A and B are shown apart, each in its own frame.
Chain A
Amino acid sequence: MSSVHFENVSKHFGNVVALADLDLHVESGEFVSLLGPSGSGKSTTLNLLAGLLDADEGAIRIGERVVNHVSPDKRDIAMVFQSYALYPHMTVFENIAFPLKARRSRVPKKEIEERVTAVGEILGVEALLHRYPKELSGGQQQRVALGRAMVRDPKVFLLDEPLSNLDARLRIRMRRDLKALHDRIASTIIYVTHDQAEALSMSTRIAVFDRGRLQQFGTPFEIYNRPANTFVANFVGEREIVFFEATARVDGDSLAIETEAETLPVAGKLPGAQRLTGHRATFGLRAESLRLADETEGTIPAVVSEVEPAGPDIIVFATTAGGLDLSCRVDGGTAIARGSPVRLAIVPDRLLAFDRETGAAIAVHG
């Protein structure tokens, strides 16, 4: 296994900037997700690392070795494709054994057999080794694709949306399997996905991309709770975040948010509140940024406009006196009806604030 480094890497397709000035350093043994909407540059990044594309500028290193001009077969990487790319004319055994039979790897025949069988057992496809890919289900094909990558001991694993063709429940199970796999082989994994839940649940760190630029590189906690800008805040999270522009009224380390129509108190201390002094900022509230409160002090009166049961939780949509539409995640057992008055409290640790012009986060949490 190896570290991976992108140093000022750019890639253009004609006039379109696919990737601009990427600086990304992945430590050895990390599970890093590249997250972003389609066309954000995440797949370009992966293909550059795989050698399927050539960078226009910058250096790409795997470990200490600059690989810009090394062809894919000499980079010692393994890749799982979104389409699985199983060789249709080969059995499962031959598919998994294929990387070991390459001239470069020179693995003795007996060892090939042992390693393929071992990988087949780990992935639970040992009974399918003599079958052809078209005789397998989607989940089985996915496992074989994974097996073909695992059978070697590559410097880096590249996974290009490997779960996107599976049904919802299998996808969630495979997340756990992949994470367990990473824990066991402790290899460097670069994982491309547009599904933030996958990225948040498996990665040691996440790189969020938008329009060819790296927006933020951080742990799942940082990405979710301390997004670097409005794009990351909005892209990550199951539901849309509520953004609104307002002025901060700071008093010591407590804060009130003044919109044109009303003043929203923040219940509790905010260590970095001083940084908001005099700022007209964009504030962001997720469903978890609010809680239902019993007290009247420091809370926001609102009227429930919609109640959406979401399995274990209920999402309560409520409109404030000033006409701001907020949402709040509450326990599924809560009895609440449309039209009833409620009081909402902003959870200080979950309040997000951004510079109005640049969209960059303001560190209100200290």
Chain B
Amino acid sequence: MSGAPSWRARRRTRLVTGAVVNTAIILFALFPILWGLSTSFKPADEILRFPPELIPSNPTLENYALLFRTGIERFVLNSTIVSVAAVVGSLAIGSLAAYAMARLAFRGRTTLMFAVVALMSIPLPSLLVPTFTFLANLGLINSRTGLALLYTAYQLPIVVWILYGYFLSLPIELENAARIDGYSRLETLWKIVLPLSGPGLVASGLFVLTFAWNDFVVAVVMISSEDYKTLPVAIYGYLGFYGREWGPLTASAILSIIPVIAVFVVFQRFFLGGMTSGGVKS
């Protein structure tokens, strides 16, 4: 009787403290985005006014309207095509490569694995010039195909690495059972391994997606035509030569993060795992 109230009080104190600390962290992390969101709804003459307002007193959709008048949907489309192609390409090639490394015994497997890890540590900028020359020789400069291929190549090592680890964690009896049930290795990969690799596929897919969607430096080097520009390059265009167009800049930045957030929200349940439970008695 006497212990109960103090126990409750302590629990409440702890909950309140936790909530305060968490809110502070969230605000600190999200403030730049909130500020951008706020700015994107302000008319041009109110953006730099002092004192600044977090909630615009005269909210307007003018900045967004301007983006669509100037054809931002073309850049969104370019980014979408290139990102989706990179995700599909790197998962397709990566899962085959990772499965071979995880399950097939072949000469040089360890060396190849080391090579994959080593490739991950090469800084991207050092690759820009050689890949530009390479792409130019292939005639793929200034094309979405070339950009998608490059993203696939850049991200393949990390995809192989993640999927390799994931495949190794799957019980091999399931694959043996499928082989004995009359399925070839490739069919086993398709019908058993990949359906059970949801979390691994989602994790590596998100890596590729965020890289391809957010990439600026590769796209700005490889693409010069207005037709094939991706969203990050287009956003950069609002940091104009003569001035900063803060309204359209923040509006386009907000537009560009929405799809990524949406994808994360949709796929986050896959991170929770539990896909393989109940299949194998341990």
Contact = CB atoms under 8 A, between A and B. Distances in A.
Contacts of A31: none
A73 B177 CA distance: 9
B181 A98 contact: yes
Interface stretch (B12-20, B54-62, B88-96, B272-280): B272-280
B50 to A, nearest CB: 59
Nearest to B280: A83
Given A52-B176, A103-B187, A88 B279 contact: yes
B179 A84 contact: no
Contacts of B276: 88
Interface residues of A, number: 35
Interface string B175-202: 0111111111001000010011000000
Contacts of A52: 176, 179
Contacts of B178: 87, 98
Contacts of A308: none
A250 to B, nearest CB: 54
Nearest to A160: B173
A102 B190 CA distance: 13
Contacts of B279: 84-89, 133-134
B186 to A, nearest CB: 11
A180 to B, nearest CB: 24
Interface range, B side: 20 to 34
Interface in A277-328: none
Contact of A50 (B180, B182, B196): B180
B278 A99 contact: no
A138 interface: yes
A136 B278 CA distance: 8
Interface in A48-72: 50-52, 71-72
A84 B281 contact: yes
Between B171, B179, B181, B182, the greatest number of chain A beta carbons within 10 A of the residue's beta carbon is seen for B181
Given A83-B171, A87-B192, A78 B278 contact: no
Given A83-B173, A89-B275, A135-B278, 17 more contacts: A75-B180, A78-B180, A83-B171, A83-B280, A83-B282, A84-B279, A85-B173, A85-B176, A86-B279, A88-B277, A88-B280, A89-B195, A89-B196, A105-B182, A133-B278, A133-B279, A148-B177
Interface of B: 171, 173-174, 176-184, 187, 192, 195-196, 275-282
5 contacts: A52-B176, A72-B176, A83-B173, A85-B173, A148-B181
A-B residue pairs, 6 tightest by C-beta = A134-B278, A88-B279, A102-B182, A85-B173, A85-B177, A99-B181
